[in-house]
Amino acid sequence: MVHKEIEMTELKPDILVKQIRERKAEIEQLLVEKAEALKDAPEGKLRIIRNRRTLQFYHRKNASEKNGSYLTRAQDSLAVALMQKEYDSKLASELKAEIIALGRLLDDYRPERIDEIFTSQHDSRKSWIHPAILLDEDFIKRWMNVEYEKKSFEENTPEFFTANGERVRSKSEVIIADSLRRFKIPYRYEYPIHLSGIGTVHPDFTCLNVCKRKEYVWEHNGMMSDSDYAEYAVNKIEKYTLSGYYPGENLILSFESASRPLSARIIEHYIRKYLL
């Protein structure tokens, strides 16, 4: 769920470059596979004739054969192999064309030039100009500077502090916050949002994927051994879904119980998967 103060039309174009490169790599790999398959394919082509309600297959071993040799039902596997060969051949041709097109696009597409137009301006001009796309540092600063009322701590509750000197509610939250800091992931602690059926809640962390310029809510469920807590957690997760927050899309969920403490490895996995 994206807040109004951040316009998602400011998405960075290098995301598109990454997707184009990934697409090109996938096609190149597929082309290699099809090239290998064509090496092992039977020679010649397949000719198909409809005879009343049935199809008849003929094997044309070379171009000089007009009709080809009739294939019996026992030779259906050969007919299938010839059909696959024709498909793979046409596909390989199209894959080569797309690889060339994507290569040219990557050569000509220079999205960083848009940023350079702004960064090349004199400092005295920059404060008066509204750039089409905010630079990362400006985007992060704008996102981090959003003011909100933080949830208070009850008296005599244990005190836990992150490496940033920020007070949180558990050792596990310290681990998550310090991991986010280590990977330079901007976050807001207990930033309030509204969930249908519950009202205002304060998720543990609201994180920013700077590359995608996308927010993720991170809820850590740290007492799953407690049946009442687990029941509440399940209900809360359902309300997240009904409010437009989906695990893996814009919601990160981590869990621990008395016998299964939170793993730093799992935290890093989530960060690398969703926030970098």
Identify the residue whose tokens are 């596990």: 172
Give the phi and the psi of residue 225 in degrees, each rounded to 5.
Answer: -75, -20
pLDDT recorded at residue 7 = 43
H-helix segments, 112-226 = 112-119, 123-126, 136-144, 171-182
Listing DSSP states for 223-249 in one string gives -TTSHHHHHHHHHHHHHHHHTT--BTT
pLDDT recorded at residue 273 = 96
For the chain, give every domain's residue range. 15-108, 147-275
Divide the 276 residues of the chain into consecutive groups of 10 and give the mean pLDDT of each group.
41 76 96 96 94 91 89 95 97 97 92 84 87 84 93 93 96 97 97 94 96 94 94 95 96 95 95 96
pLDDT digits (tens, 9 = 90+) for 203-228: 999 999 998 899 999 999 999 999 99
pLDDT recorded at residue 39 = 96
Kind and range of the H or E element at 91? helix 76-108
pLDDT recorded at residue 143 = 95
Count CB-CB contacts under 10 A for residue 82.
23
For residues 92 and 34, the answer to whether their CB atoms sit within 8 Å is yes
pLDDT recorded at residue 6 = 40
Distance between CA atoms of 185 and 206, rounded to whole angstroms?
A: 10
pLDDT recorded at residue 4 = 38
Kind and range of the H or E element at 269? helix 264-270
Q: Is domain 147-275 given the CATH code 1.10.12 in the classification?
A: no
Q: Can you read off the two tokens belonging to residue 8?
A: 């998602």
For residues 60 and 124, the answer to whether their CB atoms sit within 8 Å is no
Specify the pairing of strand 214-221 against strand 251-255. Answer: parallel
Q: Can you read off the two tokens belonging to residue 101?
A: 């097109």
Distance between CA atoms of 201 and 191, rounded to whole angstroms?
A: 8
pLDDT recorded at residue 104 = 95
pLDDT recorded at residue 13 = 61
pLDDT recorded at residue 103 = 96
Specify the pairing of strand 214-221 against strand 193-195. Answer: unpaired
